[in-house]
Amino acid sequence: MRDLAIVMALPFLIYFSLKRPFVGLGLWLWSSAVNLNAIVYGFASSITFSKLFAGLTILSFLASKEKSPLKLENLSILVILFYAIATLSNVGAISNADLAWERWGVFSKVIIFYFFAITIIRKKIHFDFIVWVLIVSIGAMSSKEGVKFLVSGGVHRIGGLAGIQGDNNFFGVMILTVIPLAAYMFTETKNKTLKMGIQSVIVLMVFGIFSTFSRGAFVGLFIFAVFFWRNSQSKILWLVMLIGISFAMVNLMPDTWLDRMNSTQKADTDDSFLGRVAAWKVGTLIAMDHILGGGFNCVEYSSTWIKYGLQFYKLDFVPPLMPTEHLHATHSIYFQILSNHGFIGLFLFLLMLLTAYSKATRIINLQKKNKNIPDWCVNLAKMMKLSLISFCTSGALVNIAYFDFLYAIFAMVVSLEVNIIQPIILEQKTFSKLAGRQK
């Protein structure tokens, strides 16, 4: 049935992708976030959807007369520098070189997406389409899991999820990153029925996060809730929702879920956490040994653990004092980047996050000086800030440093500044000069 639905819709998707580059871009992001080949069967599984929509977007972009010139502002320059460091680190990869370059190839596609996005996204409808794509895809999948969680009385737990190339922790961060964007669309939607629908999806997405049993996502959710409520204009409405969700948590959550979350308070005896600390030590030792790091996925090899496990004494002030029996992924965006690309790569990565956050903050503050800046730009900037906060907090415990949604947010922040805000400011300055001459 899914094969038939997708194949029947495919001619229309291809047509609109060729006609409007932003449609192709949204479908490119969708097919990258959701592995459609994992949720279809039969002849539809032979179609490489991500490559198809990427190719259609590029063709449509090249043929289009309406596109913005590529402007390399500070965030884009940092993206280029980070990509260059990531490439150089792979030249001296200390792990499986073939797999390291395969991972580099996947990341390269994300970078290509970013640069096409900052030139294609130029209007409100472009931003809204990207957001709707994420809500319809990730929102629908997480809402379904949220319903299962509620119906099961909190027992349902996501294991492997068809269509998502990652574990429960990865999916938890995906949901958490999309929730603020869904909140943006809630503020922009005028239709009451649709507004109620988005609100319901947001609530179910929260329960979808609970169904992941991901401690990193739960920590990120808590911090997101605090920041979201502080920045919300409808504090009473959202406070009622948060209280309702909290009440449901207390009464519905089984002991297994509560024990899982409480284990964050017992880090010194939690084997999973101690394994992560061991992986962080290995990642740090790699960075100390290699100025550009060990290349993609360098921590996740037994030979790496054998070599650097013998050097744990160099960081004996950080537990555990001895490596664990089984190797672990770093389970942290920061140690993932540190191990893969060294201290230089980590510095650039942090600078990208800070620059994107600062750009969004600047857009919000500019409206106080320039009333011509539309409210939707400020609302979107606020929610993208929350997405970045959610990513940075939950990502501290999850391996998602090369997350395509992160670069989609980077691209939207840059496009909002360069293609929407700067022309408004320039127009205002031009108008002021003309008015001054007339006087």
Residue 277's identity, in one-letter code, is V
User: What is the spatial distance between Cα 189 and Cα 198, in angstroms, rounded to a whole number?
Assistant: 9
Tokens of 38: 């994992």
Q: Which of 72-86, 146-160, 240-254 has the lowest mean pLDDT?
A: 240-254
| pLDDT per position as a tens digit, 45-62 | 777 888 889 999 999 998
Which pLDDT value is given to residue 286?
Answer: 92
Domains in the chain: boundaries: 1-67, 73-120+270-439, 124-265
Which pLDDT value is given to residue 434?
Answer: 62
- The answer to whether 323 and 312 are in contact (CB under 8 A) is yes
User: What is the spatial distance between Cα 119 and Cα 174, in angstroms, rounded to a whole number?
Assistant: 25
Which pLDDT value is given to residue 8?
Answer: 79
Which pLDDT value is given to residue 57?
Answer: 93
User: What is the spatial distance between Cα 272 and Cα 295, in angstroms, rounded to a whole number?
Assistant: 24
Residue 368 C-alpha from the chain's centroid: 29
Tokens of 354: 């800070």
CA angle 387, 389, 392 (to 5 degrees): 110
Residue 155 C-alpha from the chain's centroid: 27
Which pLDDT value is given to residue 3?
Answer: 65
User: What is the spatial distance between Cα 431 and Cα 414, in angstroms, rounded to a whole number?
Assistant: 25
Question: Residues near 437 by Cβ (< 8 Å), separated by ≥ 6?
Answer: none
Q: What are phi and psi of 421, to 5 degrees?
A: -70, -50
Please count the residues of the chain: 439
User: What is the spatial distance between Cα 125 and Cα 298, in angstroms, rounded to a whole number?
Assistant: 41
Q: Is the peptide bond before 320 cis (omega within 30 degrees of 0)?
A: yes
**Residue 351 reports pLDDT greater than 60:** yes
| pLDDT per position as a tens digit, 203-256 | 888 888 888 877 777 777 877 777 777 766 666 766 776 677 666 665 656 555
**Residue 122 reports pLDDT greater than 70:** yes
Q: What are phi and psi of 92, to 5 degrees?
A: -105, 35
**CB atoms closer than 10 angstroms to residue 351:** 15
Which pLDDT value is given to residue 378?
Answer: 92
| pLDDT per position as a tens digit, 171-195 | 888 888 899 999 899 988 888 899 8
- The answer to whether 339 and 317 are in contact (CB under 8 A) is no
Residue 16 C-alpha from the chain's centroid: 26
Question: DSSP secondary-structure letter at 179?
Answer: H
User: What is the spatial distance between Cα 352 and Cα 402, in angstroms, rounded to a whole number?
Assistant: 13
268 burial via Cβ count (<10 Å: 0-12, 13-18, 19+): exposed
Percent of the chain at pLDDT above 70? 82
Which pLDDT value is given to residue 325?
Answer: 62
| pTM assigned to the model | 0.88
Residue 216's identity, in one-letter code, is G
User: What is the spatial distance between Cα 280 and Cα 337, in angstroms, rounded to a whole number?
Assistant: 11
pLDDT averaged over every residue in the chain: 83
Residue with tokens 């580059």: 21
Which pLDDT value is given to residue 299?
Answer: 87
Tokens of 8: 């029947």
Which pLDDT value is given to residue 260?
Answer: 55
User: What is the spatial distance between Cα 131 and Cα 185, in angstroms, rounded to a whole number?
Assistant: 8
User: What is the spatial distance between Cα 79 and Cα 86, in angstroms, rounded to a whole number?
Assistant: 10
Which pLDDT value is given to residue 308?
Answer: 84
User: What is the spatial distance between Cα 192 and Cα 179, in angstroms, rounded to a whole number?
Assistant: 19
Tokens of 263: 């284990």
Residue with tokens 């269509």: 163
Q: What are phi and psi of 374, to 5 degrees?
A: -65, 150
Sign of CA dihedral 89, 92, 94, 100: positive
* Top-ranked range on mean pLDDT: pick from 161-175, 204-218, 396-410: 396-410
- Of 194, 213, 199, nearest to 148 by C-alpha is 213
Sign of CA dihedral 212, 214, 216, 221: positive
